[in-house]
Chains A and B, each alone.
Chain A
Amino acid sequence: MAPQVPGHRFLQPQFLRDTARKYVFSSNHKVIGVQYYLLGLFAVGGGVMESLLMRVHLAWPRLPMPWLSTLSPIGAPGGIMTPEIYLALLTMHGTLMVFFVATTVPQAAFGSYFLPLQIGSREMAFPRLNMVAFWLTVLSLALLLSTVFTAGGPPTSGWTASPPMSALGSIAGPGEGMGQTLWLVSIGIFSIASLLVATNFIATTLKSRTRGMSLMRLPLTVWAWFITAILMAFAFTVLLIATALLLMDHIGGYSFFLPANLVVSGVLQRYSGGSPLLWDHLFWFFRHPEVYIAIVPGIGLTSHLLSVFCRKPVFGYHAVLYATAAIGLFGLVVQDHPMLTKGTNSFPALGLSVVAMAVVIPLVVVIFSWLATLWGGAIRLTAAMLFSLSFVTVFSTASVSCIFLAQTPLGLYLRGTYFMVAHLHLMMGLAAIFAIFAGTYFWFPKVTGRLLNETLARIHFGFTFVGCYCIFLPMYFFGLSGLPDCYATIKGVPTLAALQPWNVFITGAALATAAVQPLFLFNLGRSLLKGARSPQNPWEGTTLEWTIPSPPPAANFPGDPPIIYRYPYEYGAGSGTRDYIMQHELKAPSAPSKAAFC
């Protein structure tokens, strides 16, 4: 019996310990999933605010923002944003969005919560490892944010942290001293956390499936998380090593990435023997798979949701599965393609270009499957479905722009321009965020037991969808004009200054789109407190998470986890009032199915 101390029961040590174990340092996959989601929500809020500040500066470079000088009296004289603040915002925006949103939410948040539920397990294979991974991610985020409080501020070398700039220390520019050190430590810790996530997801998928859940009966969401975990295991191992080496250069005076005879700000540096290209080679082992780490969970989720809301099986389950695996595989080997801009041998261009082009083929297979799933479906245009459809269109657009970048003569011109900014944002930014919205609208009733307001959700969708296209489509054309990315202003270059009216248009669209996002948060908060009670299976889904009460009980499944008898997309197979058969149902409720696929 724990000792009682005087005071309110909330202050009792036992209560605090229990609360901490249940909601803070919990090893329960559902709690960790929600924690990851909240962390991602925090990061996306920060990332979007940073991008808005950048956009306002790009549209109106001389606009004073008086509060900016309060935040950073050295860097923003008179409230006018300086280039170093712009680049610090750029680095922080990229890092937050790539690592703490696009990598964290679709995989770690949704996966931690729903992977065990969808495969009929009570927990992840390594629950404590799951908890450690989450808290390492928190530590990593805290270290990243702490760069704001260092003397030089956050690093200014962007989220790709290319040496020599990132290796030289404060002589290379503001934020390149302590700010860059903390950034490297933060990303190193994030890499470790991601490796733990990858290990856990692979082990859980392989070892914790309930009886009858063969690999070919896994929902495509599970397959996507599994493939992403394998990609993470490769990509983050290399990133961890690369950041460790860069940290040694940065604070230890090593020369992995620094050649001899560097003259920085008029001072000859004492390094020798390294090459900045080594970083690019290593980093691209992370950077290209990272695009697919962000997007593959979205591919799985979209296939899953289109099937649910078209009331049809996924068209070509195996084709989508193998195409997704091929996307991951090609994603790993395309990495050396961009090296051609850096003076490496131009002769292997054919091989590299062919592999880069080959990625497009599985992308076409997946898109074709989505269109065929839509064809003849009884479409239910819920908010989750609307965001899935927007994922299809955004993903198709980004896949098309892959074809430009994969061709070496065109890619050479377009890399490092706004074309790349548009491509990257559509592929791993918007598509990932649309998948997050779709997943939220789809699974919120399961997590909370309440339904979200569909009207608010539709308004949110409409403005977000149109707004995002207005932001990013013109950027493709900026890139064709030859506008390089990372410019704090384009007014200094006469030939590019003609694009300025478009900059104002994009900023207007960004502000309007951002203004609608509180509606999403309001909907979440309001529905959590006052939303209509959700039935156990509001979308009439077939997978296992819909067989249990909402919110799910602590042990997930009352009694033994169910036995699986069928493939997960048995829509249009039932009879009577039900048009679906759930995975754990031996027979259709009123008539046997003739469409067993596996």
Chain B
Amino acid sequence: MALMLSLAITLITILFGGMLIWKHAWLPPAISTIAGPIDHQFTLTFIVCGLLFATAQVTVAYLVWSQRSKPQSERHHALHGSHTLEGTSILVATVLLVALSATSYQTWTRVHWTGPAPGALRIEVWGEQFAWYFRYPGPDDRFGPVHFNLMSDSTGNYLGLDRQRDPASRDDIVTATLGVPVDHPIELILRSKDVIHCFFVPELRLKQDLVPGMEIPIHFTATRTGRYEIVCGRLCGLGHYNMHATLAVMTEPQFKAWLLRMAAEQ
């Protein structure tokens, strides 16, 4: 039994370690400027955690196997503890964790303590059960006011715009796809109509909740063209699994043409 248990633990460790090493088979491709530092932090953490994980598991496996038929006379009598060993374990853990915390914090400040670059394209992201809408400010670069009493999916006025009375709303463009130009800073303003949703694009390494009553800004710059899934990362009701939209990263001319096409459809 000792041998079987040791083998099982070792096998699990090897499998898990192997899967960790091939992290790129699991982490989706990175397509934003913030993804680089985050992935670097993932790599550091994989190394530290992989070592700690393997050490703990293999030690259990080894100890169980090596002690399996030890005669009573050979065991260590009444070892109650050792301040040196305990202190060393605390010290090693602390040093590793402080080092990880420091690099992690550096990554966090790079990603979250900076505002969007000047000239960033502002886009409002709206979540509702179970759809996404995106609003572009149009040529005047201003979002028109939102009238909650006018919001109606059945009439197509998803965001409650009064295009007759509010001049700023007239050129606002509401879409169901998030189109963005590549290598251009983007600022998203996240808002929710009903319950809490979560804007999540794994390839951007970007995730943030949409909380009703709040306007939450986030920013990114996409570095690779293509179409990616925006999913809802927080349970929002029975259609949660189906609440997804497309992020289309385009070249600048493609984006301009797309936005003109969307404006014509309003």
Q: Which residues in A have some Cβ–Cβ distance to B below 8 Å?
A: 82-84, 87, 156-158, 162, 164-165, 168, 172-174, 259-266, 268, 275-277, 310-319, 341-343, 346-347, 349-350, 353-354, 357-358, 360-361, 364-365, 367-369, 371-372, 374-379, 381, 386, 389, 392-393, 396-397, 400-401, 403-404, 407-410, 412-413, 415-417, 458, 462, 465-466, 469, 473, 477, 480-482, 484-490, 492-496, 570-573, 579, 594-595, 597
Chain B: residues with CB nearer than 8 A to chain A? 1-2, 4-5, 8-9, 12, 15-16, 19, 23, 26-28, 37-38, 41-42, 45, 48-49, 52-53, 56-57, 59-60, 63-64, 67-68, 70-72, 75-82, 85-86, 89-90, 93-94, 97-98, 100-101, 104-105, 107-108, 111-113, 128-129, 148-149, 151-154, 160, 190, 193-196, 198, 200, 202-203, 205, 207-209, 211-214, 216, 228-229, 231-242, 244
**Which 9 A-B pairs give the minimum distances between C-beta atoms?**
A482-B202, A259-B213, A376-B76, A343-B216, A316-B81, A396-B56, A595-B78, A407-B104, A487-B241
Distance from A169 Cβ to chain B, minimum over Cβ atoms (Å):
12
- List of B residues within 8 angstroms of A172 by Cβ: 129, 194-195, 237
Given contact pairs A260-B213, A317-B80, A87 touches B238 in the complex (Cβ within 8 A): yes
A490 to B229, CA, bound (A): 12
Query: Are A319 and B86 neighbours in the complex by a CB distance under 8 Å?
Result: yes
Chain B residue at minimal CB-CB distance from A458: B1
Which B residues touch A484, using CB under 8 A?
198, 200, 231-234
Q: How far is the CA of A360 from the CA of B96 in the complex (A)?
A: 11
In the bound complex, residues from chain A placing their C-beta under 8 Å from that of B77 are 572-573, 595
Report the Cα distance A487→B67, complex, angstroms: 45
Other A-B contacts than A367-B56, A374-B60, A396-B56, 16 sampled, CB-CB below 8 A, are: A173-B237, A262-B193, A264-B193, A268-B149, A275-B213, A317-B81, A343-B214, A353-B104, A401-B49, A410-B41, A466-B12, A480-B26, A480-B27, A572-B75, A573-B78, A595-B77
Given A364-B90, A379-B64, A493-B231, the answer on whether A409 and B104 have CB atoms closer than 8 Å is yes
List of B residues within 8 angstroms of A368 by Cβ = 85-86, 89
Q: Are A262 and B212 in contact (CB under 8 A)?
A: yes
Contact assessment for B200 and A482 in the assembled complex, using a CB-CB cutoff below 8 Å: yes
Cross-chain contact A371 with B12 (CB below 8 angstroms): no
Q: For residue B59, which residues in chain A have a CB less than 8 angstroms away from its CB?
A: 371
| Contact for A410 among B104, B212, B214, CB less than 8 A | B104
Partner of B240, one of A313, A361, A367, A487: A487
Residues from chain B with Cβ under 8 Å of A489 in the complex: 241
Contact A403 B100 (CB under 8 A): yes
- Give Cα A260–Cα B192 distance, bound, in whole angstroms: 12
Complex: how many Å from CA A228 to CA B26?
37
- Please tell me if the beta carbons of A377 and B28 are within 8 angstroms of each other in the complex: no
Contact A174 B97 (CB under 8 A): no
Give Cα A316–Cα B86 distance, bound, in whole angstroms.
Answer: 8
- Alpha-carbon separation in the docked complex, A485 to B5 (Å): 32
Measured CB to CB, the closest approach of chain B to A255, in angstroms, equals 10
Chain B residues near A375 (CB, 8 Å)? 63, 76
Query: Is there contact, CB below 8 Å, between A381 and B5?
Result: yes
Q: Is the CB of B101 within 8 A of A407?
A: yes
In the complex formed, the residue of A with least CB distance to B107 is: A409
Q: What residues of chain A lie closer than 8 Å to B112, measured between beta carbons?
A: 346, 349
Q: Which residues of A contact B15 (CB under 8 A)?
A: 473
Bound: A358/B49 CA distance, A: 15
List residues of chain B with CB within 8 A of the CB of A392: 56, 60
B12 partner, pick from A318, A361, A469, beta carbons under 8 A: A469
In the bound assembly, the distance between CA atoms of A409 and B35 in angstroms comes to 10
Cβ A492 vs Cβ B241 within 8 A: yes
Interface centre among A343, A369, A409 (most CB of B within 10 A): A409
Residue of B nearest to A403 (CB): B49
Contact of A376 among B41, B67, B213, B228 (CB under 8 A): B67
Q: Are B190's CB and A343's CB within 8 A?
A: yes
Closest chain A CB from B263 CB (angstroms):
25
Bound complex: CA A494 to CA B245 (Å): 11
A259 to B45, CA, bound (A): 39
Can you list 5 pairs linking A and B with CB atoms under 8 Å apart? A83-B241, A358-B97, A416-B207, A486-B240, A495-B228
Nearest chain B residue, comparing its CB with the CB of A373: B79
Residue with the greatest number of chain A CB neighbours at <10 A, chosen from B45, B52, B213, B232: B213
**Residues of chain B lying within 8 A (CB to CB) of residue A341:** 198, 207-209
A480–B81 touching, CB < 8 Å: no
A312 touches B216 (CB 8 A): no
The CA-CA distance from A346 to B218 in the complex, in Å, is 11
Q: Is the CB of B8 within 8 A of A263?
A: no
Chain A residues, CB < 8 A from B214: 259, 275, 277, 343
* Chain B contacts for A490, CB-based, 8 A: 241
Q: Complex formed: what's the CA distance from A162 to B209 in Å?
A: 13
B81 touches A319 (CB 8 A): yes
Closest to A166 in B: B195
